[in-house]
Structure formats: structure tokens, C-alpha cells
Structure 1
Amino acid sequence: MTSAAPSRGPRRWSLQARLITAIVAVVALILVMVAIATSAVLGRVLQDNLNAQVQSAAQQTAGTLLDLKIPRESQQVTASEVLQSGNQPQGTVLVLRGGGEGTATGAYVAGPGDIVTLTDIQVEDILLGVTRPEYTTVDIDGLGDYRMFPYQSLGYVAYAGMPESGVQETVTPIITSVVLMTTGGLILLAAIVAWIVRRSLAPLRAVSTTATRVANQPLAEGDVSITERVPEDQTDEDTEIGRVGHALNTLLDHVDSSLDARQRNEERMRRFVADASHELRTPLASIRGFSELSLRALRTHPDSPQAAETTEQSLERIQAQSVRMTDLVEDLLLLARLDEGQELVYSPIDLTQIAVEAVADARPAGPDHEWVLEVPDESLHVAGDSARLHQVVANLLANARTHTPAGTKVTLSVVRDGDDAVLRVRDDGPGVDPSIADELFERFSRADRSRARKSGGTGLGLSIAKAIVGAHGGRITVRSEPGDTVFEVRIPARPADPTATPAEPELEPDIESASEPAADSDDADEPRQ
């Protein structure tokens, strides 16, 4: 029974769609609010102007009514007479109602000199619509909306008004223009915003595309190289999105270098396993061979002097090969303990004394070399493990002796540089092979692919030196050119907390040419030639 795939929710909008929608919606809202506010203000202004026109018409009709009333006190004046006698603008409407139960008459100016009498329904609409002494909008049958204003004059109640169609005719085109311009502007804005957003998000799409291609690469094993990168024109660090692309490229560079380092470490490990197997197989084969030789001699001639001599020689060879295997295993254990922060015993030590003893030990081992010691008059104390630091110095001196020709001058110097104690081993030999420069302090590295006892080694000597110096909070570097090779060890020249575990610093060889040191005996790992 197969389980159904989980249902996915509704598809979400893309960032581009959300940005365009949000920008256009906000601008549209602003434009609509501006249009409404503009229309309201404009309508109010036009309404005030219309009220002023109505008041002007009322004042003018009041004056005309006065002129007509004085000579005709006994006869009621009609609205038509007032409008004919006055010079009222077109559209003016007037309703007159005499005092008491006087008849209401009404008329309006239809055109220049054209006065039209209002019907009873129209008069009634005005009388019923205007109930308070204030400006009132009345819908007059057949005429539309009028702005009316009532007033009393000479015993008459007059209702003067002007049509509101002028206000509407002014506001309507403005609103229509605003709507059309707003709609067109929003369409144009949407197009421009879409172009800008799409162009701005192009680096983000490039990042997504690059990340997708990298994710589809098999990175679990083998020689892997990540060649995919965000295009350079999409990694502008002056923009936020460009910085994302730049950061992804930096990350991919780091991952690529890490994968390359992993592959190199795997290859070194395979080589080391082969080398270690050979290093162990050789003495084991010797032990087995000499033991079989001894047994054969004892079984064949148990009481002969020749058998005793053969047995003694075999035991000596067996012991020598056992010592050789023991040294190799101890080197491996030392590296493991240094990685775990163990093995070191801190105490105040004199680095100059270690240098003097190391050169004294190196002179008998290398009589064909010229040994020079340069140390200050005063002692230079550091907090560290005396035996391990002596091992570092001895290894560097043995490396210089093993990989330089007879007559080479080797100088060991100790100086104080600020807060650091600096120990340098300099020789004027042929220098370091550039092909092994990058792997100089790496563990299990070998320059000589043969396993000759003279030139080949296990690849542990310099890595042990690096681990010891790093455990002391220092660093070891090398620079080399023909005639001048210098190994430099820097250790803090101050008391250290014996209970603290110093952090191992990054040990990056400072190499101009390249160099491959060697160690004494089994620790002489890397030939320079």
C-alpha cells in the first residue's frame, strides 16, 4: 500500500508579483485618496460660488421687487414680472408668495428675454423643499436640482435659486479626467515597476539557478569540483541582492576548496596507509625471516658455534626492526594525543638552552656540515614542554642535514620579537622543491614516492613539529629560495596557564619557492630535491 503524497497548499505568489502588486496598490490608494480630496474641495468651492450667485440673484430680485411694489401697492407682483424687469442670468428661478394667503407664482429665465412661468407642480416642489431660511437643494420637476434661498421683502416671501448643473458640469469632467489619468498612470506605473523589479531581482534568479545546478551535482565522493558560479555582472556588492550573489560565490569557492582538500586528504591517507603498511611489513618480514633462520639453525646444528652466532645476529636484527616499528607507532600515537590536547607537560623552560643542546647533538651527526649557533646573552623563557620543543628543534636540524649537501652552512638562531620567542633554522642549501610546497606541513605527505630508508619517510616528522608548536599556541612557517631556506618557529614568550589547552593556529607556510624538509632517521620525511 503506497502512501499518498502530501497535498500542497495553494501556490504562493512570487516575490516579483508581490512587490508589483504592493507598489501599484499603494500608489493607487494614494491617487484615489488625492482624487477624492480634490473633488471634495473643488465641489465645496463651486458650491460656495453657487451660493454666492444665489444670494446675488436674491438681492437683485429684492431690488426689482421694491421698484415694482411702490407704484402698485394694491396689486400683487408676480414672479414673471420681477424677472422681466430685472437683468437676471439664465437659469435663475424665482417664486413669490404674497403675505397671508397670497397666491404663489413662479418663473425662471430660460434664455435672454425668455421668461417661462413655473407650473403649479414646480412651484409646489419649491415650497415643499424649502422649509428653513437657509440654502437648500431642491429637485424641481422638469428642471433638475436647484440651489434655493428664501427671503422676505415688502410682505412677500421670495424663493430665489440657481441651477446646480453648472457645478456638476464642472466637477464631472474633472473627475473623469482624474479617473482616466489615474488609470493610465497606474498601468504605466505597473509596467515600469515590473521592469525595474524584474531587472533588480535578476541577480536573485541567477543565485537560485546557480544554487539549483550545484545542488544537482554529486558531491558525496570522488574528485569533485564545483565550477558553477553566479555571473560577475550579478554580484555587485553595492546592492543587497548583489551581495547575496557575491556571498554565494564566496561560499562555493570555500566549499570547492574544502572538497579539494578533502580529496587531497583522502589521497594522502591512502598513500599513508600504503606507506605505513610497507613500513610495518618490511620489519615484520625481517623479523619473520630472521626468526625462521634462527630456528632452522638451531634445529639443524643445535650445539654448533655457527648456530649460536646466527641466532645472535638474527636477534639483533629482530630487535632493530622492533625498534623501527615502535618509533613509527609512537609517532602515530603522539599525533593522536596532540590532537586531543594531551601529551604536553608545561613548565618554564629556557629556549636558548634547548637550542645549545640541539646544535651540540647535531654536530656529531653531521660532521660534513657547518653548524652555527646564534643565541642572546640572556635566557629566553617560555612556558612549554621541554622534551617536545627539543624534538621540534632536533627534527628541523636533522631535516637540514639530511636534505642538503656536505659543506652546507646551517644556522640556528633564537631571538625575542615583541611578545614572541622566535627560533629560526637557516641553511644555504639548494632550497625546497616547489612541487611539494603546498603540502609541506601536511600529515602523511611524501615527496619521494619510493620508500627508501635514505630519502623516503612516513610523512609524519613535520606534521608532528607543526602539532607540537600549535599546541604551544605558536606557529611554524617556511620560506625558501635557492641558497636561503628558513624554517621559523614562533611561540608566545610569556607564562602560560598549564591547565589551559592552547588552540592550534592556522599554519600556512610562507613559501616563496618551496621547500621539503627532512627529519632525522625515520622522522626525516621530506626530501628537498
Structure 2
Amino acid sequence: MSILPRPAPPLPDAGPRESVRARLRRPWTLQARLMTAVIGMVAFILVMIGISTSAILSQVLIYNLDASVTDTASSIQPRAAFQSSAENVLESTRFPDGTLLVLNSVTSERITGAVVDSDGPRALTDDDLGQIAKSLQSADDSALTVNLPNLGEYLVRSYAAPGGGAFLVGLPLSNVTGTIGAILTTVALVTAGGLLLLAVIIAIVIRLGLRPLRAVAETATRVASLRMEEGDVSITERVPADQVDTTTEIGQVGAALNTLLDRVDASLTARQRNEELMRRFVADASHELRTPLASIRGFSELSLRAMRQAQDDESRQRVALAVETTEQSLERIQAQSIRMTTLVEDLLLLARLDEGQELVYGSVDLTRLAVEAVGDARPAGPDHSWTIDVPDQPVELAGDASRLHQVVANLLANARTHTPPGSEVAVSVAHEGAEAVLRVHDDGPGIDPSVAAQLFERFARADRSRDRKTGGTGLGLSIARAIVEAHRGTISVRSVPGDTTFEVRLPAKPADPV
């Protein structure tokens, strides 16, 4: 016997019903909501106007009909005392069709009734008389509405007859109901036609009004389909200019989307530029590190080879040569290690400056700092002419003295390195407005215009051959810019042959450091 459970019976398929429910729960479009709200409100107002108009007109018509009943009764009243039946009274004078008369004569002591039709007065049936007999029991002037089995609804009034007895006069309500019906039919047809025309006009107006919003949606859809994960991405999609109008709400949405796309496009361009700079930076850093590493490896292999040869040949000459070779190799290894350490420290400094670290704020006298930097540069460049121009009063600012000294030292080393012997390097400090200004000028050959724009980039060099005779890392000016920008200042360069000036501007009274 199998102990497996039996499969449960399949549930009934409610596909069509569920799909109808799903469609009913589906949110309406903005156009459908607006049309439903406007048309529903207008239809409600028109229906209320039609009902109110019909009620007022019905009262007016009934009032006029009651006046006609009163006029008819006034012409019948003199004859009611002398006639024995209602037919005789109605035959004596021509009355409008539908005029109803019920007479309770004292002389005949019986109730008679007649109604005027196209053939003249016609006696009422017993059913009609029985329906209105109770109205004759009260001989007053109140108007009553009675529904006669064979005649329909009537507006009647009962009056006292001269000499005793009573009579009842009535006119049909068919004219009133017919008029009201015709008016309601006309109002209904006009309302339906007006609502249909209103729906068409509203649909056209809403469709034209929502066209800018559809243009926004189409633009956003096209932008969403773009691949922006990597590579050079440019967003050229924009909301058409004819659909952007800042004076309308929907037009403002289009203008806001275009502004957003402009900023996103600029951000993507900046991201691509940063990625290219990062790739170039990694390549340059790898190149800079590869050279000392290759030197270290080569000299270490040379030392090992000399030591092994000395072990194989125990002569004093071989041992002395191995010791000399090893000593030179170790010196070269030490030099390359120092160079690589300097490069790594510069890279670490740049990274920390980018993160807002490595700055210790205090009061800095830019005048004294410039004088000390020039004093340090003179022994390193005895073939150059060094001059300095500083004001009598100190130019003070808030900053990191050691890092600002590094900026000035880098600028002076850059001027010494890239100008021939005998060139003049002039340093000046000034206080201009709310800024402290430091300028380093030289009369060297100038900077190649092709590299002037990238001069402050990392590993930027005027010499594309990557010659390292200067012993630098190619990060001096980029470090200077990072330090100056960390102090909320700016650094720039102007260069023509024979006139090159680096200018550093720092806030003389900066805000509280972050």
C-alpha cells in the first residue's frame, strides 16, 4: 500500500473573473481621472438644474391650471343652481376639452358628473364618480389631485352652489405633465449632447495640455535605455524646446528634467575624465616605480654574481673586486630605494590631502616663510640669481606652515631645475585685499604651451622623454596645488619665453578651518 499523499484536486480556474478584477483595480490615467471628474461634476450640476427648473415650472403650470379651474368654476356657479345634471350645465356654454364637472344638486337630490371631449359633454362612469364622491363632502376651495380610472389625473376644486348643494370643477393634468415631460426630454437631450461635446473638448484640451508631460516621459524612457555603466557616455536626449515652458506647471517639469540631464551629463563627463586621469596616473606611477625596482633587482643580481665568483675563486683580487662591486650596488640600491620611498610618500601625501588630512593649522607669516625658502634655495642653485621682495609688515594667514613652506620650496626647485644657469628667480609677497599673494618669477625659456594646461596634473612633465636627471618624482606641482586648494586658495601660472610667473593666492583672513 502506498503511503504517499494523494495530490490535491486542482483549484478552479478563475482567470476571466480575476482578469476583470485586475483591470478594475488598475489605476486610471490622469486623462481619465480629469475627464471623469469634470464630466461628472458638470453632469451633476446640469441634472440638478433640470430638476430644479422642472419643479419650479411644474408649480407655475399647476398654479396657472388652478387659476383656470377657478375661472371655469366662476362661469359654472350661476348655472349650477338651475340645472338638474352636470351635462346640462356643460351644454349651456362651450368649455375647453377635458373640463370636468360633478354636480350635487339639491333639487334633484342626486350626484351627476360629465366631462367635455371632442363630441361635447359626456357623462362620467360610476367608477369615476365613486373616486371623487368623497371630495364633494367638503365644500371648500382647496385644490385636490384625483386619479380617475378612465380619465387620468385631474386638478379639482369643490364649491358651494347657490341655494344649496355643491359642485366640483376640474381640469386635466395631462397638459402640465406633457409640458414637463417635453422639457425634461429636451433638457436630457441637450445635456447628453453637451456632455458629449464637453467630453470631446476636454479630451482635446487635456491631450494638448499633457503633451509636454508625455514628451518628458518619452525623454526619460530614452535616457533610461542608455548604458551608462562605463565608457564615454554622453546624454544628448532632451525634452524638445517647444514642450518646455517655465510659465506652466508641466513645462516646468520638462525644464527641470533638462536641467537634471545637463547636470548628469556633466557628471558623467567628469567621471570619464577622472577615470582617464586615474588610468594615466596608475600608468605613470607604475612607470616611476618600475624603474627603481628594476635597478634594485639588477644591482642585487650583480652583487650576488660577484659574491658567488669570489667564493669560487678565493684570490684576494677577486674578493676585493666583489666587495667593491657589492658596495657600489648597495649604494645604487639605497639611492633607488630613497627615490622610491620619496615617490610613495608623495603619493601618500596627495591621497591624504584629497581626504582633507595632513594639515595642522596655525598662524603663518608668509613673509618670513618666503625669506627662509629663498635662503634654502641659494645653496642648491648657486648658478642662479635669487631676489626677494616682501613688505615691511608681515603678511599673516591661518594655515599649515610646513606644508606652505613645501609649496614655496617646490616652486623654487621647479624654477631652478627648468631654467639655465645665470637665470634670475624673483620671489615677491604682497597683501592684496583679503588675499595673501606669493609670486615666483623667472626669466627662463618658458613653458611649452602644449603642456601648460596639464602642468599641475600628477606626473606632468614638459619633457616627454621622462628623463629623471633632476631626481624628482613629477608630483611637485600637483602637491603644491593640492596644498594650496586645501587652504582654500588658488595657484596659477603665466608663461611666455623670458617671463614665467607662478602665483599663489591664499585667504589672508580665512574662515575657521574645517
> Match for 2:361 among 336, 346, 367?
346
Structure 2 counterpart of 1:286, which letter? S
Question: Residue by residue, what CA displacement relative to the aligned partner does 1:101-123 show, whole Å, maximum 9, x if unpaired?
Answer: 93122233436x94444333333
8 Å Cα contact 2:158-2:169 kept in structure 1: yes
Gaps of 5+ in 2: 1-17
Question: Residue by residue, what CA displacement relative to the aligned partner does 1:237-282 show, whole Å, maximum 9, x if unpaired?
Answer: 2222222222222222322332222222222222222211111111
- Report the CA distance between 1:395 and its aligned residue: 3.1
The separation in 2 between residues aligned to 1:404 and 1:202, in whole angstroms, is: 66
Question: Residue by residue, what CA displacement relative to the aligned partner does 1:205-231 show, whole Å, maximum 9, x if unpaired?
Answer: 222222222222222223333333322
Structure 1 residue 239 corresponds to structure 2 residue 248: yes
Structure 2 counterpart of 1:347, which letter? G
- Over the matched positions of the two proteins, sequence identity in percent amounts to 56
The separation in 2 between residues aligned to 1:367 and 1:60, in whole angstroms, is: 143
The separation in 2 between residues aligned to 1:326 and 1:41, in whole angstroms, is: 103
Distance 1:315 1:22, change over 3 A: same
The separation in 2 between residues aligned to 1:100 and 1:455, in whole angstroms, is: 150
> Match for 2:104 among 97, 100, 108?
97
Distance 1:162 1:249, change over 3 A: same
The separation in 2 between residues aligned to 1:128 and 1:351, in whole angstroms, is: 122
Partner residue, 1:335? 350
- Report the CA distance between 1:148 and its aligned residue: 1.0
Structure 1 residue 142 corresponds to structure 2 residue 150: yes
The separation in 2 between residues aligned to 1:212 and 1:13, in whole angstroms, is: 20
The separation in 2 between residues aligned to 1:441 and 1:96, in whole angstroms, is: 122
Partner residue, 1:476? 490
Partner residue, 1:156? 165
8 Å Cα contact 1:96-1:158 kept in structure 2: yes
The separation in 1 between residues aligned to 2:203 and 2:35, in whole angstroms, is: 6
Secondary structure of the residue aligned to 1:490 is strand
Structure 1 residue 194 corresponds to structure 2 residue 203: yes
- Report the CA distance between 1:325 and its aligned residue: 1.1
TM-score (norm 2): 0.79
8 Å Cα contact 2:84-2:108 kept in structure 1: no
Gaps of 5+ in 1: 1-6, 503-529
Partner residue, 1:285? 294
Distance 1:372 1:90, change over 3 A: farther
Structure 1 counterpart of 2:193, which letter? G
Partner residue, 2:337? 322
Q: How many residues align?
A: 480
Distance 1:338 1:151, change over 3 A: same
Secondary structure of the residue aligned to 2:234 is coil
Structure 1 counterpart of 2:449, which letter? D
Structure 1 counterpart of 2:294, which letter? A
Partner residue, 1:29? 44
The separation in 1 between residues aligned to 2:467 and 2:185, in whole angstroms, is: 98
8 Å Cα contact 1:130-1:136 kept in structure 2: no
The separation in 1 between residues aligned to 2:371 and 2:42, in whole angstroms, is: 83
CA RMSD in angstroms comes to: 3.8
> Match for 2:54 among 33, 39, 57?
39
The separation in 2 between residues aligned to 1:42 and 1:480, in whole angstroms, is: 94
8 Å Cα contact 1:380-1:493 kept in structure 2: no
Partner residue, 2:12? none
Secondary structure of the residue aligned to 1:161 is strand
> Match for 1:79 among 66, 79, 86?
86
Secondary structure of the residue aligned to 1:147 is strand
Secondary structure of the residue aligned to 2:166 is strand
8 Å Cα contact 1:400-1:410 kept in structure 2: no
- Report the CA distance between 1:306 and its aligned residue: 6.7
Secondary structure of the residue aligned to 1:383 is strand
Partner residue, 1:49? 64
The separation in 2 between residues aligned to 1:362 and 1:131, in whole angstroms, is: 136
